[in-house]
């Protein structure tokens, strides 16, 4: 799988990021959240990840303006 960063790089490895993949999916790097008490059922291998809304919106805007997207 190849990842293409959709968000600006930061000065640390531990910062929220959003990546597009060559499989037409999105990978999110963020803070892992426990599902306990959030009324969410997770499947095997799934996790909740929190990122700032601004990071998500910037990634969406970058993907929308990428060549080949409509």
- The pLDDT of residue 69 is 60
Per residue in 3-18, pLDDT (tens digit) is 999 988 888 777 899 9
Estimate to the nearest angstrom the gap between the alpha carbon of 17 and the chain centroid. 6
Residues 6 and 56: their CA atoms lie apart, in Å, by 9
Report residue 68 as tokens.
């080949």
Burial pattern 19-32, b for ≥16 Cβ within 10 A else e, equals bbeeeeeebbbbee
- The pLDDT of residue 35 is 87
Mean pLDDT, all residues of the chain: 89
- The pLDDT of residue 68 is 67
- 10-16 contacts at long range (C-beta below 8 A, 24 or more positions apart): 16/51, 16/52, 16/55
Per residue in 50-69, pLDDT (tens digit) is 999 999 999 999 888 877 66
């Amino acid at each position: 799988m190849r990842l293409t960063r959709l968000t600006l790089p930061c000065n640390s490895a531990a910062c929220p990021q959003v990546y597009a993949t060559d499989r037409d999916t999105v990978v999110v790097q963020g803070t892992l959240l426990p599902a306990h008490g959030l009324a969410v059922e997770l499947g095997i291998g799934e996790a909740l990840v929190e990122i700032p809304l601004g990071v998500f919106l910037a990634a969406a805007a970058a993907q929308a303006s990428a060549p080949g997207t409509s």
